Structure 1
C-alpha cells in the first residue's frame, strides 16, 4: 500500500495541507509503532497500526481548515467520518474505522447529543487495541504548523481533554497505564 499516493490523490491541489497531515501522521505512526513494539504483544498487528496511523486524518482533505491549507466545505469535526468514507472507497474498511473512531478519545452518542455535534447519532469510539493505540498516539501531536513536531506532555493532553469532560480524561488515564507515556 502506498499511503503517500492515497493521500496525494485525495488532497489533490492542496499539497501543503497534504504535507502537514502526512508529517503529523508520521509522528503519530512512529509513536504508535514504538509503543506497540514495546508492548511485545504478538496479537497486535503492527503493520496495520502503522498504516492506520498514517491514514487516520485523510478526511481533513475535505474540511474547511484554512490554518493548514484545506479549503473544503465540511466542518473539521467531520474529518473522521469523511476519512471513513474515503478509506472504504479505497477498499480499506478496517483502516476506515480507525478514521471514524479516533477523534479525541472517541465520541459516544451521548457526547454527540450533549455537544450538538453535526455527526451521525452512533458511538464512534475505538474498540480494538490497535484502534485505541492509534487514537492514543494521536493525542500527543497537533497539526498546527508552529507546534507540529512538538510532542505534548500527558498534562497538556489532560488539560485539553478536560474541556470536553472528565470522562475523557479518565479514558486517557486508562490508556496511560496500558500504553505508557
Structure 2
C-alpha cells in the first residue's frame, strides 16, 4: 500500500544520506530524474492506467537509496553488502522514515522482482520472501528503471533487446517478467474503455 504523504521532498531525503557534492548523491538524483521522466512518458501514452504520478516521481528518486550500504565503488559506494541487497536496504531506510509504500518500491524493483524460490536457489543474501512489484506504481518504476544504467550516468537509454539481454545473464525469469511489464505498459487492453483500467 502506498504511503499517503504528499509533501515529502525526495531530494532532501537523498541529501540526508548522501551529502551535497558526493558522487553517489549526484548519480541518484540524475538516475531518479531519468527514471521519473521515462515513467511519465509511459503514463502519457498509457492513458488506461490509473497511477499516482506524484508517488511515481517521488519513488523514481528514492528507489535506489539503499545503494550506499553496498560495495559498489563504481557508484561511489563503500558499504559491505552485495549490490543485490540495495532494495531491501532502501526499504529499511524508508520504513524508518515512515515511508513504507516508498520502501516497497525499493525492495520490489530489483531484478524485475525477486521470488523466495530464486533467493533460495541462487543463495542470494536476501530475506526469503517474494519481492515482486504489485501495484501499478511499483511495476512502472521497476520497468522504467531498466532503461538506464547508473554507471554511464544516463548517457544511453537502453533498447528492449539490450535490457532483455542484460537480464538474461542473471535469470531468464527476469526476461519473462520484464516482457510482461513491457506488454502492460505498451499494449492497451481490449476491455479498456477509458483512462482507468484494472490491472
Q: TM-score, normalised by structure 2?
A: 0.85
Matched, 1:33 2:47: no
Shift of 1:141: 0.6
* Runs of 4+ more than 4 Å apart: none
Q: TM-score, normalised by structure 1?
A: 0.93
After alignment, is 17-26 or 40-49 more displaced?
A: 40-49
**Of 117, 122, 126, the match for 1:115:** 122
Residue-pair matches, total: 180
Which residue of structure 1 aligns with residue 196 of structure 2? Answer: none
Instruction: State how 1:109-148 maps to structure 2 within 5 Å.
Output: 109-145=116-152, 148=154
Which of the pair is proportionally richer in helix?
A: 1
**Of 174, 177, 180, the match for 2:183:** 177
Stretches of structure 1 lacking an aligned partner (at least 5 in a row): none
After alignment, is 166-175 or 101-110 more displaced?
A: 166-175
Which residue of structure 2 aligns with residue 149 of structure 1? Answer: 155
3-state secondary structure, aligned to 2:111:
coil
Q: How far apart in 2 are the matches of 1:56 and 1:75? A: 17
After alignment, is 79-88 or 30-39 more displaced?
A: 30-39
CA contact (8 A) 1:59 1:84 kept: yes
Q: How far apart in 2 are the matches of 1:66 and 1:167? A: 28
**Of 56, 59, 68, the match for 1:61:** 68
Task: Choose between structure 1 and 2 for higher RCO, CA contacts under 8 A separated by at least 6 residues.
Answer: 2
Q: How far apart in 2 are the matches of 1:118 and 1:50? A: 29
